[in-house]
C-alpha cells in the first residue's frame, strides 16, 4: 500500500454510478428531456444557496470545530419546461483552492443552461478547512510523502461534501423542474476527480465511514436521499480517489454498471499526467462501458480552449451526453 500511495499522489505535484443507485423519478417523468442545439434561453442565476453544513477543525479531527455552510450556485433556463436535465459541476484547485465562481465554469454554465440544462456549480471544503476524516484515512497518511499529507487528507471531506450536494440537488428537484433520471456530473482537475468518484463509488462510500456522532452536520446533508448519475465528464482528472478507497477500505467499484464517461486530457499535462486518462479509458473498455476519449495533443493542464475537429470541449461533451442519455435535441 505504501508504494501505491506514493506513486498515486506523486501524479499531483500541484494537485491544483453509483453501482447501487436506485432510479429516481421526479414526478413520474418518463419522457426524455428536450434540449436545444443552440443557445435559446436567457440564464437566471441564484447564488450561494446552502446545500448542507460541515465541520471545520482547528487541527485534523480535533474537538475544536466550527460549523460552516456549504454553498452552490444554480443556473436556470428562463422557460416553463417541467422536464429538464441537470448538470452538477465541481471546480478544480487541487483540493486547496478554486471556487464555483471560476470564469471557465461560469462560461460552461451559460453554455448548457441556455440550451436547457439546470446547471449547478458547487463549492466544497478545501485543505484550509481541515474537514473530518475517517481514522483509517488518518492512519494511511503515514504512507504519504509529508509534503502531500495535507492534500491527501483534504480529499475525503471534499468528496463527502460533493455527495451531499448531489443529494441536495435530487431532494430539491421539483424546485428547479429537473428530471433526476438525467443527471450529469463533471469537473476539471480536482473537480474531475470528485465527479469520477461520485459516478463510480457506491452511495455509502465517502459518507458512511463517519457517523453522525462523530460529525453531527451529517444530519443536514439529506443523508437518506438516493441519486442516479447518468454520465460523467472528466476534464483532466484521474481515479486517484477511487484508488485510495480501494487501498484503505478494499472497495473496488469499477464494473460494467458504471455511468458512461467523457474524457478530455492534455497529452503534455504536467500536473495530472496523461497516463491517468489512458488508465481510465482502459478500465472502461475492459468493462464494456461507453467512453469518449479525447487526447488533447500538445496541451497542458486546464486546456479549456482546446478543440477537436474544430469542436470545443463543451460541444463534444454536449454530443456525448445527448447520445448516452437519449436527450431530444431541437
Q: Is 84 helix (H, G, I), strand (E, B) or coil?
A: strand
Copy the grid coordinates of residue 256: 460494467
Helix 190-200 vs helix 240-249: crossing angle, to nearest 10? 50
Q: CATH number of the domain that 163 lies in?
A: 3.40.50.1820
Q: What is the pLDDT of residues 104-136, one digit of tens each?
A: 999 999 999 999 999 999 999 999 999 999 999
Banded pLDDT at 147 (limits 50, 70, 90): confident
Q: Is 39 helix (H, G, I), strand (E, B) or coil?
A: coil
Q: Which residues of 96-109 are buried (b: 16+ CB within 10 A; e: fewer)?
A: eebebebeebbebb
CA dist., res. 190 & res. 321, Å (int): 21
| Mean pLDDT rounded to a whole number for the chain | 91
Do β-strands 118-122 and 328-329 pair in parallel, antiparallel, or remain unpaired?
A: unpaired
Q: Which helix H or strand E contains 71, and what residues bound it?
A: strand 65-77
Q: What is the pTM of this model?
A: 0.91
Do β-strands 231-235 and 43-57 pair in parallel, antiparallel, or remain unpaired?
A: unpaired
pLDDT of residue 29: 55
CA dist., res. 131 & res. 55, Å (int): 6
Banded pLDDT at 317 (limits 50, 70, 90): very high
Stretch 52-72: mean pLDDT? 96
C-alpha distance from residue 30 to each of 83, 86, 246, 312 (Å): 9, 15, 36, 31
**Residue with grid cell 484521474, as numbered in its chain:** 238
Q: What is the pLDDT of residues 270-287, one digit of tens each?
A: 999 999 999 999 999 999
Does the pLDDT of residue 7 top 80, yes or no?
no
Backbone dihedral angles phi then psi of residue 38, each to the nearest 5 degrees: -130, 170
**Domain carrying residue 247:** 2-329
- Listed in sequence order, the residues at least 6 apart from 135 whose beta carbon sits closer than 8 Å to its beta carbon are 61
Banded pLDDT at 19 (limits 50, 70, 90): very low
Stretch 293-312: mean pLDDT? 97
Domain count, the chain: 1
Does the pLDDT of residue 173 top 60, yes or no?
yes
Stretch 249-271: mean pLDDT? 96
Amino acid at each position: 500500500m505504501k508504494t501505491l500511495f506514493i506513486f498515486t499522489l506523486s501524479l499531483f505535484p500541484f494537485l491544483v454510478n453509483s453501482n447501487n443507485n436506485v432510479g429516481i423519478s421526479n414526478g413520474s417523468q418518463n419522457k426524455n428531456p428536450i434540449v436545444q442545439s443552440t443557445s435559446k434561453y436567457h440564464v437566471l442565476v441564484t447564488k450561494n444557496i446552502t446545500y448542507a453544513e460541515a465541520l471545520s477543525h482547528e487541527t485534523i479531527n480535533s474537538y475544536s470545530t466550527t460549523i460552516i455552510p456549504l454553498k452552490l450556485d444554480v443556473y436556470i433556463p428562463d422557460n416553463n419546461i417541467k422536464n429538464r436535465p441537470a448538470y452538477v459541476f465541481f471546480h478544480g484547485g487541487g483540493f486547496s483552492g478554486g471556487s464555483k465562481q471560476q470564469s471557465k465554469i461560469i462560461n460552461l454554465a451559460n453554455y448548457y443552461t441556455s440550451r436547457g440544462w439546470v446547471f449547478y456549480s458547487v463549492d466544497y471544503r478545501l485543505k484550509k478547512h481541515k474537514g473530518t476524516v475517517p481514522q483509517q484515512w488518518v492512519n494511511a497518511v503515514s504512507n504519504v510523502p509529508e509534503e502531500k499529507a495535507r492534500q491527501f487528507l483534504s480529499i475525503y471531506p471534499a468528496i463527502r461534501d460533493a455527495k451531499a450536494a448531489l443529494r441536495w440537488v435530487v431532494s430539491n428537484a421539483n424546485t428547479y423542474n429537473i428530471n433526476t433520471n438525467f443527471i450529469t456530473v463533471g469537473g476539471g482537475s480536482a473537480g474531475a476527480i470528485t465527479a469520477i468518484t461520485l459516478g463510480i463509488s457506491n452511495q455509502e462510500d465517502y459518507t458512511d465511514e463517519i457517523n453522525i456522532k462523530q460529525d453531527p452536520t451529517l444530519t443536514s446533508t439529506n443523508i437518506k436521499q438516493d441519486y442516479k448519475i447518468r454520465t460523467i465528464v472528466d476534464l483532466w482528472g484521474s481515479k486517484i480517489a477511487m484508488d485510495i478507497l480501494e487501498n484503505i477500505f478494499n472497495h473496488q467499484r469499477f464494473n460494467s454498471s458504471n455511468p458512461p464517461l467523457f474524457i478530455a486530457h492534455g497529452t503534455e499535462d504536467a500536473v495530472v499526467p496523461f497516463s491517468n486518462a489512458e488508465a481510465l479509458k482502459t478500465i472502461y473498455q475492459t468493462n464494456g462501458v461507453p467512453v469518449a476519449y479525447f487526447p488533447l495533443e500538445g496541451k497542458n493542464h486546464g486546456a479549456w480552449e482546446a478543440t477537436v475537429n474544430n469542436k470545443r470541449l463543451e460541444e463534444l461533451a454536449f454530443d456525448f451526453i445527448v447520445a448516452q442519455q437519449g436527450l431530444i435535441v431541437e
